[in-house]
Amino acid sequence: MKIGQLSFLFMTRLPGQCLVDCWPQLDVKQKQTVRTLLDNMCQELRRFELPAGLGMGTVQEPRRCKDCRRQLRISPGPIYTESQFNDFLVLSDVPRRVSEGYRKWVFSMLRTDHRIVFTHGDLHPGNIMIEVGNDGRITLGLVDWELAGFYPEYWEMVKAFNTRTKYDDSDWWEYLPPSILGYDYDILVDDFVDRAFLPS
Residue 6 is assigned to a structural domain of this protein: no
Q: What is the CATH number of the domain that holds 157?
A: 3.90.1200
CA 179 vs. chain centroid, Å, equals: 13
- What pLDDT score does 9 carry? 62
pLDDT tens per residue across span 47-60: 999 999 999 999 88
| 185 within a domain of the structure (yes/no) | yes
Residue 2 maps to a domain: no
Look at the pTM and tell me if it is higher than 0.85.
yes
- Span of 26-30, 111-115, 187-191 with lowest mean pLDDT: 187-191
Question: φ, ψ for residue 116 (rounded to 5)?
Answer: -105, 115
Asked, for residue 4, whether it belongs to a domain, the answer is no
Tens of pLDDT, residues 58-110: 988 889 999 988 788 899 999 999 999 999 988 765 556 778 788 888 889 99
In a domain, 5, yes or no: no
Q: Is residue 64, in this structure, part of any structural domain at all? A: yes
Q: What is the pLDDT of residue 80?
A: 97
Contact 116, 82 (CB under 8 A): yes
Is 120 a member of any domain? yes
The residue range of the domain holding 38 is 12-197
Residue 158 forms part of a structural domain: yes
Amino acid symbol at 65? C
- Cα(59)–Cα(145) distance, rounded to whole angstroms? 11
Per DSSP (E only), the strands in the chain are 2-3, 6-7, 17-18, 66-68, 72-74, 116-119, 128-132, 138-142, 149-152
State residue 30's pLDDT score. 98
Number of structural domains (the chain) is 1
pLDDT (0 to 100) of residue 77: 93
